[in-house]
């Protein structure tokens, strides 16, 4: 009788152990799914806008366009048009997967223009000769061919950001027509590839600089604040 009771007890123990193992396996599965979801691509939406501009035509019928707070595309011999690189912040440890144009707002600039070619780089002393890019100036296609270019990732201490060039004015050389993109909206897909330590997140050395050069700083800076208090990394002042 004792052997029979002992046998039943052992069976019950084995069954209970089996259920415990199954439960543990299910927990691990849930954890695995959660981790996988955390590593999947996420996205953010950002809108880039053009600024007021001036059009100046010289006596030799060459037109130059200048836009407030924008530089220019300066490939020697190619049309000189406004362009600007924007730094778009992603959360800590983020890495950009893709950048996609999801909407835009453009209009045609009245008139016909002969856009001045960008000059060659000069040392300020010698006069450098250069050739106009006839392939572009005799083309039916717009220049530049894309309104934006993804230039890769940038890093500023703990901050990660995507570098995107926005060229808001397109030039059609044969017709002389100009098109201006008043704004474009981009979808930036990214994934988290590493976890930053609390010590690094607590480092505020470059916060002021980041707030000036990252256009969406206000929407991402909270993610760069550590969830628990931590000692910041040592910082030093340098005199060069």
Per-residue model confidence as pLDDT tens for the chain (240 residues): 444 444 444 344 444 443 333 333 334 333 333 333 344 569 999 999 999 999 999 999 999 999 999 999 999 999 999 999 999 999 999 999 999 999 999 999 999 999 999 988 876 676 677 789 999 999 999 999 999 999 999 999 999 999 999 999 999 999 999 999 999 999 999 999 998 888 989 989 999 999 999 999 999 999 998 876 655 444 443 332
pLDDT of residue 121: 80
- Per-residue exposure over 126-159, b if at least 16 CB sit within 10 Å of its own CB, e if not: eeeeeeebeebbeeeebbbeebbbbeeebebbbb
Longest dimension (CA), the chain: 116
CA distance 158 to 183: 29
Which residue is listed with tokens 């474009």? 184
pLDDT of residue 74: 93
Query: How far apart, in Å, are the Cα atoms of 133 and each of 67, 80, 126, 178, 184?
Result: 23, 12, 22, 18, 28
Which architecture characterizes domain 42-194 according to CATH? Sandwich (2.60)
Instruction: Decide: helix, strand or coil at residue 116.
Output: coil
pLDDT of residue 6: 42
pLDDT of residue 7: 46
Return the half-sphere exposure (C-beta side, CA atoms, 13 A cut-off) of residue 65. Answer: 25
CA distance 21 to 183: 57
pLDDT of residue 226: 87
């Amino acid at each position: 009788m004792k052997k029979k009771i002992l046998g039943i007890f052992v069976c019950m123990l084995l069954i209970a152990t089996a259920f415990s193992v199954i439960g543990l396996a299910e927990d691990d599965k849930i954890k695995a799914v959660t981790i996988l979801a955390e590593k999947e691509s996420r996205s953010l939406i950002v809108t880039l806008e053009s600024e007021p501009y001036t059009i100046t035509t010289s006596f030799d019928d060459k037109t130059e366009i200048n836009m407030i707070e924008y530089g220019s595309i300066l490939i020697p011999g190619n049309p000189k048009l406004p362009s600007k690189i924007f730094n778009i912040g992603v959360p800590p440890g983020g890495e950009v997967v893709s950048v996609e144009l999801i909407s835009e707002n453009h209009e045609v600039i009245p008139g016909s223009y002969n856009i001045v070619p960008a000059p060659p780089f000069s040392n300020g002393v010698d006069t450098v000769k250069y050739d106009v890019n006839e392939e572009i100036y005799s083309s039916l296609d717009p220049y530049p061919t894309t309104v934006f270019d993804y230039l890769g990732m940038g890093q500023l201490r703990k901050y990660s950001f995507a570098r995107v060039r926005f060229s808001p004015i397109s030039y059609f050389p044969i017709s002389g027509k100009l098109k201006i993109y008043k704004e474009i909206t981009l979808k930036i897909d990214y994934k988290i590839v590493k976890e930053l330590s609390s010590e690094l997140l607590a480092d505020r050395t470059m916060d002021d600089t980041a707030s000036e050069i990252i256009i969406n700083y206000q929407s991402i800076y909270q993610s760069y604040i550590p969830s628990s208090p931590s000692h910041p990394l040592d910082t030093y002042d340098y005199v060069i």
